[in-house]
Structure 1
Amino acid sequence: MIPFALVATMTGSVLMADNPIDTQLPNAPELAGYGDMTVGVRQLEMVNPGQIDILSIEPDAARPATFPTYDRPLTVEMWYPAEAGATGDTSMKAFLRDGATEVTLKGRAVRDAAPAGKGYPLILISHGYPGNRFLMSHLAENIASKGYVVASIDHTDSTYRTQAAFGSTLVNRSLDQLFVLEEMAQMTDEGGDFAGLYDADNAGLIGYSMGGYGAIVTAGGGVTEASVGYSWGGPHGTLGIHQAGSDTHNALPDARIKTAVAIGPWGMNTGFWSADGLAGIQIPMMFIAGSQDETSLYEEGVRAIWENASGLPHALLTYVNGGHNSAAPMPAPKESYYFSEDKGFNISEHYSDPVWDTVRMNNIAQHFVTAWMDTHLKGDSEKATYLDLVEVSNAGVWSMNEDGTPKEDHSYWKGFAQNTAKGLKYEVKSAAK
């Protein structure tokens, strides 16, 4: 059989793929559904001046007296509530994991629609290594429809097309997140491009894999002394700015970020985190993981991060038997269904899971992120009830009266229809260590 990507190449635009990011399955949990607001989307270009140029530092040479600097470019995709009834282009152009194939994604957000409303919470999204700002577009668009402004970052040196030395990602990930927060804050000031549209003082952060690593750093988790010295990490100790207990890291957390969600956060498995460093986390966090995560690991990875995090309320949502791609990536674009000789794997594997259906994973993530962010950024106590669950979804008891009200022994996961809460765990650790 001829691979789809080859057919598309042979026939040009005749077989333009339909790659929806907004699919809702019949068994999607309640809060996964789109909100009532029309959504707009636009591209923003930002430049962070005077940043250490990690790529220009030779790790094997003598430490330079001063590190070279450059103006670091960052592209951001912004989803936001728009004027009701806005119409227009709802497609997005994105590159695949191969770094070469450009595809069209289809959602509901209208390109460059006029913003509407005031004072929405701001959420930053930070992709993995490598990734891009569209990798979690399903989640960005979904929560924007519920009254959030979402800024998803293309991290330079870490995208599919700019992937470079890993040390740049280690050093810059949290710095990028906080720089974009500040730039977004300036744009909503009086006279700014989006004056009053959102409240940058009431912000959340969502990070996947290396984005989750960055979210932990941004939240106050400091890396270990050992990781600062890794030969394959930040050259000549440049990662030391994020070391636990250092003056630079103590000054890093920004009070405007009130909460974070870290999906498959990386680093525990390679010695970047310790109990002392994770005790520095200053905001409540929800961690999301697959119990068979082969990249960040589970028991000795994401779960260990959650167990060692500070004494604030922290939650862990587990996709039982899910891998590293649990929850975060959008559905694999059809053009990705081919084996890359250069990468050594089927490109679609970058977006998919061997066990879980991607849309099902996305819908569950949309549900829980909505409940978490509404609780922590909007003070919605009703949404907090969607997080008050028996730990193992399979153990929940469905017990309802004929009129649809729950009986006393009803313990099924709120928001999930009967027989649909399967293969999940939700645990909360709130007691101070």
Structure 2
Amino acid sequence: MGVLMVGTAWAADNRVDGLRPDAPELAAPGASAIGVRTIQLLHKDQVDILKVEADKPLPKYDRPLTVEVWYPSDGAKRGGQYKNVFIRDGKTQVTLYGQAVRDAAPAKAETPYPLVIISHGYPGNRFLLSHLAENLASKGYVVASIDHTDSMYHDKAAFGSTLVNRPLDQKFVLDEMDRLGKDPGSFLNGLVNANDTGLIGYSMGAYGSVITAGGGVTQAATELAWGAPAGTLKRMMAGSPEHEALMDDRFKAIVSIAPWGMTYGFWDAAGLAGVKVPMFFIAGSVDDVSGYEKGTKAIFENAVNTDRYLLTFENANHNAAAPIPAPVESWKPVDNLDFVPFEHYADAVWDTLRMNNITQHFVTAYFAVHLKGDDSMQSYLDIIPVANEGVFAVEKDGTPKAEHSYWKGFPKRTAKGLKLEHMTKAN
């Protein structure tokens, strides 16, 4: 009963900025206060997937995208709200709480901050990974999280729109953030360095991230009756000029959490050989949505032309690492879903906040190495693969003994149930 009460009390706060006492070292927020603003973007002249009809010209529209932007701030205040946020049922709106201050003045940076783009699942919204957004902004990044039209809780539409638009949205937001960073009339002017950009994708956002990294899809994936209509996914095919044109060397590193698609034949070895951007994959070992052995792990193993990692949460399912703790309003059954919305956020084995903190730790190290050139953070990644095999042996003053092999940054007894595998680019 005590555990339930504690969990309920935490969820009632609807906080996205939690830090457990046993969190790994790099999970803690950085030194910067955080500002947050909402911007509206319009991707002009895009194919309107929802209105495509066989044997007719492809209809076009101007595709709207709402983007939440977190950034370092010079303000002294910390703490704010995210109001009117839809949860999984697509009807209930809630208030989330975190560290960011709405419309706070941006920091006066000597040099622009690296950019991180976040791409949610299907369905989802721009706040689903807000724990990572706030954490990274406090450490000197500008973070842009996308509301993907047709893929949100309240506007979920045909799956084909998600299949086609994910990588296009990711590239477009990169272009727009780059443009705004050079616009004297934008609050982002001089604040963001899009030449050093990271991407975090979850589920269908991670599907898009594999394509963005260079993983062109198979021809069979473009012909699925339930997929993208009228061949509209062919522009993502491996080897196609359109897919090649999507590749952008401003993406320096990608975190791909539970990427969907491998178990449905969206990639093969030849397509995944096209991945050239360094990648950090994260997955639960019993993921029954994206698959593990034949899903995320197979993508990891076949992306032979880049340096990549795979962090595995043993016995976690599809919700490993990415979602914020389930808002308290999601704990109740609803009449338009055959499951309790809580299940969309939570895992049956792992505590969500625990997974969030572990993810913050590793993403901090990974992006510091690849986006900031901080090689000192590499030591948090150069660890034995199986955490359970680590030996914790330190002197009374904390100095490691010769036999010490515990995961760096993890307090004693806390690096359990995790694996971190590393594969380098093929020669």
- TM-score in terms of structure 2 length: 0.95
Q: Give the secondary-structure state (helix, strand or coil) at the position aligned to 1:35.
A: coil
Equivalent pair of 1:186/1:192 in contact (CA under 8 Å): no
Q: Give the secondary-structure state (helix, strand or coil) at the position aligned to 1:305.
A: helix
Match for 1:231 among 225, 229, 232? 225
Query: For residues 21-36 of structure 1, what are the structure 2 equivalents within 5 Å?
Result: 21-36=16-31
Equivalent pair of 1:336/1:346 in contact (CA under 8 Å): yes
Query: For residues 9-408 of structure 1, what are the structure 2 equivalents within 5 Å?
Result: 17-58=12-53, 62-64=54-56, 66-86=57-77, 89-118=80-109, 119-193=112-186, 194-408=188-402
Equivalent pair of 2:78/2:99 in contact (CA under 8 Å): no
Distance in 1 of aligned mates of 2:78 and 2:134: 15
Equivalent pair of 2:79/2:99 in contact (CA under 8 Å): no
Distance in 2 of aligned mates of 1:304 and 1:326: 18
Aligned residue pairs: how many?
414
Distance in 1 of aligned mates of 2:378 and 2:107: 27
Give the residue type in structure 2 aligned to 1:284.
Answer: P
What is the Cα deviation at residue 412 of structure 1? 0.2
Question: What does the per-residue CA deviation read over 1:108-127, in whole Å, with 9 as the maximum and x for residues that have no partner?
Answer: 10001000033110000000
Distance in 2 of aligned mates of 1:215 and 1:270: 17
What is the Cα deviation at residue 311 of structure 1? 2.5
Question: What does the per-residue CA deviation read over 1:328-387, in whole Å, with 9 as the maximum and x for residues that have no partner?
Answer: 000000000112232100110000000000000000000010010001001111111000
Distance in 2 of aligned mates of 1:291 and 1:418: 23
What is the Cα deviation at residue 391 of structure 1? 0.5
Give the residue type in structure 2 aligned to 1:349.
Answer: E
What is the Cα deviation at residue 190 of structure 1? 4.7
Distance in 2 of aligned mates of 1:91 and 1:343: 24
Equivalent pair of 2:81/2:95 in contact (CA under 8 Å): no
Give the residue type in structure 1 aligned to 2:118.
Answer: I
Structure 2: gaps of 5 or more residues:
1-10
Distance in 2 of aligned mates of 1:187 and 1:22: 28
What is the Cα deviation at residue 93 of structure 1? 3.0
What is the Cα deviation at residue 84 of structure 1? 3.2
Q: Give the secondary-structure state (helix, strand or coil) at the position aligned to 1:93.
A: strand
- TM-score in terms of structure 1 length: 0.94
Structure 1: gaps of 5 or more residues:
1-15
Give the residue type in structure 2 aligned to 1:158.
Answer: S
What is the Cα deviation at residue 413 of structure 1? 0.0
Q: Give the secondary-structure state (helix, strand or coil) at the position aligned to 1:345.
A: coil
